[in-house]
Structure 1
């Protein structure tokens, strides 16, 4: 048995922010991580943080009032407004504290719009901020414990925007090779690396391969300790202040997905260690649950044989769907959504249920594209200069392609003809693709006259299946505005806090913009640590 002030369960950005702030407040902190590597889902993210009215955005006026208007709209009145106002009041102080103890340099992305830029209070750019690169050699013995991202390519999110996410031939590979040789990491890995470095400097003890098992309540009903397989040995850690759950979602546990999500989500894009450990522990001590049917949805593709941590790797399609020369269709051969729509809200169309046929109307679905698209863009692991793989069906005609993959041939031929007719004019009267600033941001800036629209031209033609996936779930224990977990029967559970994807999201069903996941997780990690330290919100 051992004793400390605070135990943080999970080592993503939310958990490490909680650990960093608690240690900066003078508390003794232990971080326990289930996986053999550090960083969780945060490492495989873009490392962006959605921070309205941040000090890095100076080109356009922004305000917390306009951001609150936007959050009210995108959460559709389903979230306690106290959580929204607390987030907005705290996200920038959180960033200031993180910068103070890590030295991260942030920069506003002036071109990245909010995810629903037409809603009142939305901004066309600047609320999403991104960090710089990080030298992983600064971590010493922990360098090899930093989780590797899916690609392992050390670049910044701003460089991805400049070079093109799906146009690998435009990337500066000599610069990238130099960074790799020097141990430089980028995006989510850089954010986690910097947070971990800050934690280590403040004396935080970090243990990998140490899954948490059970929470303990004291005679007063507050959290008194936690059971952990600490470095391979079952250990009870008593806590003087409390426990912060930051262990990620439950998207890789099929039983929990079936029980709670209520949608055919079969392709999580996160590390497979996210199996609901924190959720189960919170349920075990009587926590109230909320937002359990929601996730940070994303359409994904899977290249046969592509794996990560021994599980199939499902890759998000953030930009791929928005590029000119491709359309998404269901089994009837019909488009059903603006393909360039932000990934979270597009998935709401993927999960539409048809009560007449008693099946999901748009599952399965496919991205259909022509030879010019194939020769211009990378699709998962397939680059323009590599042979066409078996998981990418191809045919000389649209009708033959439809027959190959099980799409209604007449429907697809008709759909392509109609799409070609109006896309040649640079319009999409059916779904308004290319009209939103978000759409054009995701398109190909080197294609004119339209970044998002172009008729499907000469064959051969190709199809890849698009899956309903998730970056992570966002339902779990309900918290108050300090991150304190609430009881199912009312009142707080003393000493138990939750942040990140393990907790019921402060954004409900909505996804405000790029980096909102990390922003909420880190902000409520910050608030949890301050509450445990007695500093208040």
Structure 2
């Protein structure tokens, strides 16, 4: 048995922020990570943070207000979130960032072109998403090789991705990238987690990998007083003087929990496969109230046969691929059913549509259908324009033949392509309004004119890839108050227990405000949890 002030379960951005804050406020902190690498889901993210009223907006000549941000959050959460949680987030996000900057050395800048995910809603703004810098992993010393490798391993910044084009790899500066790789430089989510880890190590945080937490234990008063952990291969009870912070990620890789709670056929998570609901089960074991259990950070994904990550199938998000000109998404009837360029979270609401007449999810399976020009211009998962067409990408000389190959209605797809081509030739999509939103155009191909999102499907051959309902992570779990403290199912707080990140019920409820909202919420409530623990007697 060992004793410490605080145990943080999980090493993503939320957990590392909690650990960094607690340690720099004078507490003794232990971080335990189930996986053999540090960083969790945050490493495979873009590393963006959605920060309303941030100080970087002035650098791009923009202004924001708390009132506008709150109005937008009320809309995006559809009135289903306690306003105290929303205002706490708004009032804490920037102090949290300032604290993290001071104690980790990370730097940020505004993304001048990235709009909120629903830019037509009241209070929406372009510029609230901020981007971090690159990070030199050599600063981590013996922990250098313990930082989780991202899906791609490419050390770039989000602003470089925007400038070069996410799916136009031929436009990237590969000489610069190779130089960074040789020097141990990482970018995006890996850079964010690397910086936070560096700050934690400098502050004296003990970090253990391959050390899954097993069970919380409580004192006679019902408060959490410790946790059982398989610490470095040995089952150890760690007593805590202040408390435990759960930051262990979601439950998207546990199919039983997905079936029980999400209520829709999600079988393609885009996160590391260690996210199997450990924190959720531990919280349930001590009587925690649950919230938001049917929600996730939804994303449409594609899977290239044989593509894996951590020994499991790798499902890749399609954030910009769907918005590029020369392709359309269709369902089993060969019909479009959504604006393909829409933000990934809200597009999945269309993927989840259940037809009571046909008694099935009408838009699953769905397919992205595209022409030869698209195939020759953009990368699709692991398939680049200069590589042979793989067997997981059906191809045919005509649209009718392609429809037969992928099992969709032939007449429906032929008619749909003809109708779409008429629209695209005019640069207007009257059915689904593709290309009208600032978010759509942000994701399109700037080098295609007259419209970066719309272009008729031209000469064949034609291609298709299946689009699946996936998630970046679930966002339901133990319900917390505005300090991050977990609440009891029968009312009142559970002393000594806090939760943040994807393990907790999200402050954003059903909504997804903008790029980096996941990290922003997790880090903010990790910071608040640590502040509360530091202030506790």
* TM-score exceeds 0.5: yes
Give the aligned partner of residue 348 of structure 1: 349
TM-score by length of 1: 0.99
| Structure 2 equivalent of residue 211 of structure 1 | 212
**TM alignment of 1:97-112, pairs within 5 A:** 97-112=99-114
Q: Deviations over 1:447-495 (max 9, x none)?
A: 0000000000000000000000000000000000000000000000001
Following superposition, the deviation at residue 266 of structure 1 comes to 0.8
Cα distance in 1, alignment partners of residues 152 and 186 from structure 2: 11
Q: Give the C-alpha shift of residue 105 in structure 1.
A: 1.0
Report Cα offsets for 1:331-388 as digits up to 9, x if no partner.
0000000000000000000000000010001000000000000000000000000000
Q: What residue in structure 2 maps to residue 410 of structure 1?
A: 411
- Structure 2 counterpart of 1:85, from 67, 84, 87: 87
Give the Cα–Cα distance (whole angstroms) in 1 for the partners of residues 222 and 489 of structure 2: 13
Tell me what 2:45 maps to.
Answer: 45
- The answer to whether the aligner puts 1:316 opposite 2:321 as a matched pair is no
What's the counterpart of residue 476 of structure 1?
477
1:23 equivalent to 2:18? Answer no
Structure 1 residue 199 displacement after superposition: 0.1
d(CA) in 2 for partners of 1:119, 1:218: 48
Deviant stretches of 4+, over 4 Å: none
Deviation of the 1:422 alpha carbon: 1.1
Name stretches of at least 5 consecutive residues in structure 1 with no aligned partner.
none
- Mean CA deviation greater in 493-502 or 218-227: 218-227
Do the aligned residues in 1 keep the contact of 2:242 with 2:536 (CA within 8 Å)? no
Match of 2:387 in 1: 386
SS across alignment from 1:451: coil
Residue number in structure 2 paired with 1:285: 286
Give the match for residue 453 of structure 1. 454
Q: Give the match's secondary structure for 2:55.
A: coil
The residue aligned with 1:185 is 186
Matched, 1:5 2:5: yes
Q: State the secondary structure of the residue aligned to 2:521.
A: helix
SS at match of 1:467: strand
What is the Cα deviation at residue 65 of structure 1? Answer: 1.0
- CA distance in 1 between counterparts of 2:377 and 2:533 reads 52
Q: Deviations over 1:204-262 (max 9, x none)?
A: 00000000000011112111100000000000000000000000000000000000000
Q: Distance in 1 between matches of 2:532 and 2:57?
A: 29
Q: Whole-Å Cα distance in 2 between the matches of residues 317 and 422 of structure 1?
A: 23
- Count residues in correspondence: 535
Question: Could you list the per-position Cα deviations for residues 414-463 of structure 1 after superposition, in whole angstroms to 9, with x for gaps in the alignment?
Answer: 00000000110000000000000000000000000000000000000000
In 2, the alpha carbon distance for the partners of 1:217 and 1:485 equals 14
* C-alpha separation in 2, matches of 1:126 and 1:418: 36
Q: Determine the structure 2 residue equivalent to 1:36.
A: 36
Deviation of the 1:180 alpha carbon: 0.2
**1:84-117 C-alpha deviation (Å, 9 max, x unpaired):** 0000000000000000001111000010000000
**How far, CA to CA, are the matches of 1:182 and 1:394 in structure 2?**
41
Quote how far apart the aligned CAs of 1:535 are. Answer: 7.6
Alignment partner, residue 158 of structure 1: 159
Unaligned 5+ segments in structure 2 are none
In 1: Cα distance, 2:50 partner to 2:489 partner: 31
Q: Distance in 2 between matches of 1:288 and 1:535?
A: 22
The separation in 2 between residues aligned to 1:121 and 1:24, in whole angstroms, is 35
Question: Aligned residue for 2:133?
Answer: 132
TM-score, normalised with respect to structure 2:
0.99
Query: SS at 2:454's partner residue?
Result: coil
Aligned to 2:434: 433
Shift of 1:294: 0.2
SS of residue in 1 equivalent to 2:502: helix
**3-state SS of 2:42 partner:** helix
Q: In 2, distance between residues paired with 1:4 and 1:105?
A: 31
SS state at 2:413 partner? helix
Match of 1:259 in 2: 260
Aligned to 2:56: 56
Q: Which residue of 1 aligns with 2:118?
A: 116
Q: How far apart, in 1, do the equivalents of 2:95 and 2:470 lie? A: 33
Match of 1:76 among 75, 78, 90: 78
Q: Does 2:522 align with 1:521?
A: yes
Whole-angstrom CA distance in 2 between matches of 1:507 and 1:346? 17
C-alpha separation between the residues in 1 aligned to 2:203 and 2:57?
30
SS class of match (2:330): strand
In 2, distance between residues paired with 1:75 and 1:380?
32
Q: Would you say the 8 A contact 2:293–2:475 is kept in 1? A: yes
